[in-house]
Amino acid sequence: QKEVEQNSGPLSVPEGAIASLNCTYSDRGSQSFFWYRQYSGKSPELIMFIYSNGDKEDGRFTAQLNKASQYVSLLIRDSQPSDSATYLCAVNGYRGGKLIFGQGTELSVKP
Amino acid sequence: NAGVTQTPKFQVLKTGQSMTLQCAQDMNHNSMYWYRQDPGMGLRLIYYSASEGTTDKGEVPNGYNVSRLNKREFSLRLESAAPSQTSVYFCASTASTSGRYEQYFGPGTRLTVT
């Protein structure tokens, strides 16, 4: 079992809709959870991080963490074509330590 | 890619050749990482360095060595390149203080081993 798993997609949503991206992890000791966006041919860019159970909102993005279920998600409200990218989930056990990535979910937002 | 530089951007090697990928950051970050990215595989951690003077293996360390030369620089060496090492290599640096987390990736090195 991979340490961090994501649906590979592609996930296609219409412009203006909510895109929901999901990630599960296997290490119950994991403490920090991250979402990255990667445009084709570019390097990943950190967009959200979350440490505590519950929701964390930043603009159109909401990260949701449920440690009991070992599940973290990213919601993108009012999706735009410019949100079309691959979204990577990453998890680590302690700050500054080993950061493990999922395989990424490709999101396509159709005008 | 603010603050993290990688060289070279592209490289073609023949099987058995060696090379060093260079990474430097100017943000005074303690932690640095080397990842490889292959189609459909996400990012896989090769080695990381939590602080100057320390290095640790990641998920896929075989065939690689690293050096944390100082706080700024973290290099990745391929001693005897193999076609399976054809990939895009990313360096990253991070800093974490209470409630705040920074991470930046370099632009990547696209390596082909023939």
Q: Find the residue in A nearest to B106 (Cα).
A: A43
And the tokens for A65? 């963490």
pLDDT tens digit sequence for A22-31: 999 998 888 8
Q: Identify whether the C-beta of residue A74 lies closer than 8 Å to the C-beta of residue A16.
A: no
Beta-sheet pairing, A61-66 with A54-58: antiparallel
Residues of B with CB under 8 A from a CB of A: 1, 30-31, 33, 35, 40-45, 48, 50-51, 56, 58-59, 90, 94, 96, 101-108
Average pLDDT across chain A, whole number = 91
The predicted model gives A7-31 an average pLDDT of 92
Positions of E strands within chain B:
4-7, 10-13, 19-25, 31-37, 43-49, 56-57, 64-68, 74-78, 87-97, 100-105, 109-113
Q: Which of A54-58, A99-103, B53-57 has the least mean pLDDT?
A: A99-103
Q: Nearest CB to A96: which of B1, B31, B43?
A: B31
CB B67 within 8 A of CB B75: yes
pLDDT in tens, B84-107: 999 999 999 988 776 677 889 999
Cα–Cα distance between B72 and B69 in angstroms, integer? 8
pLDDT tens digits, residue range A87-111? Answer: 999 998 654 467 889 999 999 999 9
Q: CA-nearest residue of chain B to A8?
A: B40
Q: Does A94 touch chain B (CB under 8 A)?
A: no
Q: Which residue carries 């909401």 as its tokens?
A: A62
Q: Determine the pLDDT at residue A29.
A: 84
pLDDT score for A1? 61
The closest alpha carbon to B52, from B76, B28, B34, belongs to B28
Nearest to A96 among B59, B96, B104 (CB): B96
Res. B39 pLDDT band, cuts 50 70 90: confident
Q: Choose the weakest-confidence range: A10-14, A50-54, B7-11, B99-103.
A: B99-103
Closest CA–CA distance from residue A106 to any residue of chain B (Å):
10
pLDDT surpasses 70 at B21: yes
Contact residues on chain A for B9, CB-CB shorter than 8 A:
none
pLDDT at B1 over 70: no
The Cα A42–Cα B10 span in angstroms is 14
In this prediction, residue A72 carries a pLDDT of: 96
Q: Who among A32, A90, A103 is closest to B40 (CB)?
A: A103
Q: Give the pLDDT of residue A16.
A: 97
Q: For residue B99, what pLDDT is reported?
A: 67
Say what the pLDDT of residue A95 is: 47
Average pLDDT value for residue range B29-39: 92
Among B3, B6, B23, residue whose Cα is nearest residue B109: B6
Q: Which of B56, B57, B71, B58 is nearest to B24 (CA)?
A: B71
Tally of CB atoms within 10 A around B52: 14
Question: Contacts of residue B105 in chain A, CB cutoff 8 Å?
Answer: 43-45
Residues of A in contact with B44 (CB under 8 A): 101
Across the interface, whether the CB atoms of A101 and B42 are under 8 A apart is answered yes
Distance from CA of A111 to the nearest CA of B (A): 26
E strand or H helix that includes residue A63: strand A61-66
